[in-house]
Amino acid sequence: MKFYSRKLIKPEDLNARNTLFGGALLRWIDEEAGIYAITKLDSKNVVTKFISEINFISSAAQGDVIEIGLQFKGVGTTSISFSCEVRNLLSKQAIIEIETIVFVNVDDDGHPTPHNKTLDNIDIQRS
C-alpha cells in the first residue's frame, strides 16, 4: 500500500455529528484513484466502474490529517483494479478499507477500449 495524498479535515468536511462526512471521503478516494488509474494507464479517459464493499472502520475529526493509500491489484483488457486504505496520518489508525476499485479505459464515445497495458509493461512504481 502506497500512501499518496493527504487531507486536512476542515469544517465543510463534517457530518451532523461533527465527524468526517463519509461522502467527502469517498469523493477524495474516487479522485485519488482516478489519478492513479490515469498515471498507470497513460490515459485520461478513465471512469470509475466498480467499488466493492466499503468498511468504515473509524472516524476522523476536524483538524485531523488523513492519508489515502492505494495498492495495485491487476489489469485486464480495458480495466485496472486496486485496493484502498485511508488512515490517520499521525496515529495510523485505519479509517476506511476498500477491497477493490475498478476503473475502465473508454473511447471518445464512452465505450470500453483496450488500454494496452499488461503486467509486463505497466509501471506500477510510478506515482
Report how far residue 29's alpha carbon sits from residue 34's, in angstroms, rounded to the nearest whole number. Answer: 8
Shortest-Cβ-distance residue relative to ligand COA: 76
Nearer to ligand COA, 47 or 61 (CB): 47
Other Cβ atoms less than 10 A from the Cβ of 82: the count is 21
Decide: is 112 part of the binding site for ligand COA (CB under 6 A): yes
Q: Contacting ligand COA (CB under 6 A), which of 1, 8, 47, 90? A: 47
Residue 95 is a binding residue for ligand COA (CB under 6 A) = no
State the Cα–Cα distance between residues 19 and 16, nearest whole angstrom.
8
What's the helix, strand, coil split of the chain in %, to 5? 20, 45, 40
48 counts as binding ligand COA under rule CB under 6 A: yes
Taking CB under 6 A as the binding criterion, the range among 5-13, 20-28, 41-49, 116-124 that sits at the site for ligand COA is 41-49
Q: Name which position in 5, 15, 58, 77 contacts ligand COA (CB under 6 A).
A: 77
DSSP state of 112: B
| Cell numbers describing residue 3 | 500512501
Provide, rounded to whole angstroms, the least separation between the CB of residue 117 and ligand COA.
Answer: 10
